[in-house]
Structures are given as structure tokens and as C-alpha cells.
Amino acid sequence: MTKSELISAVHNAATEQDIEITKKATGELIDIVFDQVAEAVKSEKRFSYPGFGTFTVKHRKAREGRNPRTKAPITIPASNTVNFKPSPTLKDRIN
């Protein structure tokens, strides 16, 4: 699903529930929601939404790797990434 498809789906769902909102306002609201989720993960290292799942910051240690073109060994630096664990409710909805 692309961003525009998400905006359309949310807008249509809101319209079905008699919530009057423009597509432009729907897009802006979705942007705000994702910005707030990202900020929560960054500052608190965790964001949980019941019935959906939990986003956490995961630290990856530095490790040895190989350049796929030259096969030369390289050091991959340590980094942080975001991990997502779906809730049991979301898993049940997918299956």
C-alpha cells in the first residue's frame, strides 16, 4: 500500500462513519501521526499501540562483512534500527 492509497482508504473509512474531512486534511493528519510515532520511538526508545504492535529501538553491534563486488573484508559500523513486534491481535487478523 502506498501513501496515497493509505490516505484514500482512511478518507473513505472516515466518510463511511460520517466524519467530514478533506483528503488533504486526511493526508496531513496521517503525516502528523507518523511524525509523532517516530518522535516517540526516538525519544522513549519504544512505542506501543494496543491491538497493533510495538516499535522498539534495537542496537546492532559493529561486525565484519564482505564487499560483495571485491570480496574484501569490511567493518560494518554499529547502528540503531527500529524493530517491530506485532500484537497477537494483529497476527490473528492476518492469518
Spell out the domain ranges in the chain: 1-44, 57-95
Contact 90, 51 (CB under 8 A): yes
The confidence score (pLDDT) of residue 85 equals 97
Give per-residue pLDDT as tens, 4-18: 999 999 999 999 999
The vertex-32 CA angle with 59 and 88, nearest 5°, equals 55
pTM of the predicted structure, to 2 decimals: 0.79
